[in-house]
Amino acid sequence: MAILYSIDGSSKNGGELGFVNRCDLVPEFEAAAFKLRKGEVSEIVESKFGYHIIQLIERRGEQINVRHILLKPSFGPGEINQTFTLADSIYKAIKSDSLTFSEAAQRFSNDSESRYNGGNVVNQKNGTTRFETDEVDPTVFFQLEKMNVGEISAPIQSLSAEGNTAFRILYLRTRSQPHKADLSTDYQRIQEATLTEKENKALTDWVKKKKSTTFVQVADDYKSCSNLGHWFEKLK
């Protein structure tokens, strides 16, 4: 049934995901899957990805191997037009000052990560609301390129993280022009770079310390690689 009907990439394997940790799953899926007994099939479970039917194959402590069937509603032109009409009315309400952007996000946004954060999108790489240009969805980036700081866009069509048709209303809060890094404006990035440099140095020092007391064997095919030369220093 998974091969026939599931839209998930696991369908070719009969819906089997392989062993995953508890924290690797979305909350609704996780809660249902960890309640199952071996071979048991769940009721229909709704998550942000769609509707799941889950079967537990095996559990090892906090790891489970499950198979699932994933289905999600398909939306025709009528539903998409209705969504655009709603998004456009929200945009006009914000522009007329009858609704703030934060209020609109809390009341209408379907993005659970930014909805209660005033619509602010957090960069998962650095934990801030700042993004490099290559970290932004291309559709969003091209719209932002046309905007001035403080400007709010009309609804634009794009895809959500789950691959669904979505309409976004964008608010460009700040934009940084190319410049030399400065502590007053780039503290977070400088801190990250410094931490990465210290971690790399600590790892290099640890490898040097352990290399003299650890057996190291490099395959003959790779011994001519200049980047691996340092592994032979203690073996001469």
Mean pLDDT score of the chain, rounded to an integer? 88
pLDDT surpassing 90 at residue 51: yes
Cα separations (Å) of 100 from 104, 147, 148?
A: 6, 19, 18
86 SS3 class: helix
Tell me which residue of 156, 169, 157, 50 sits closest to 107, measured CA to CA: 169
Check if CATH label 3.10.50.40 holds for domain 77-168.
yes
**Answer CATH for 2-71 from 1.10.287.610, 2.40.110.10, 3.40.50.1220, 3.10.50.40:** 3.10.50.40
Identify the band that residue 71 occupies on the pLDDT scale cut at 50, 70 and 90.
very high
pLDDT at residue 225, as a whole number: 84
pLDDT at residue 65, as a whole number: 96
Question: Which residues make beta-bridge pairs with 158?
Answer: 166
Integer Cα distance of 119 and 116 in angstroms = 7
Identify the band that residue 212 occupies on the pLDDT scale cut at 50, 70 and 90.
confident
pLDDT surpassing 60 at residue 235: no
Integer Cα distance of 147 and 150 in angstroms = 8
User: pLDDT digits over 167-204, tens only?
Assistant: 999 999 988 877 787 887 778 778 888 998 999 999 98
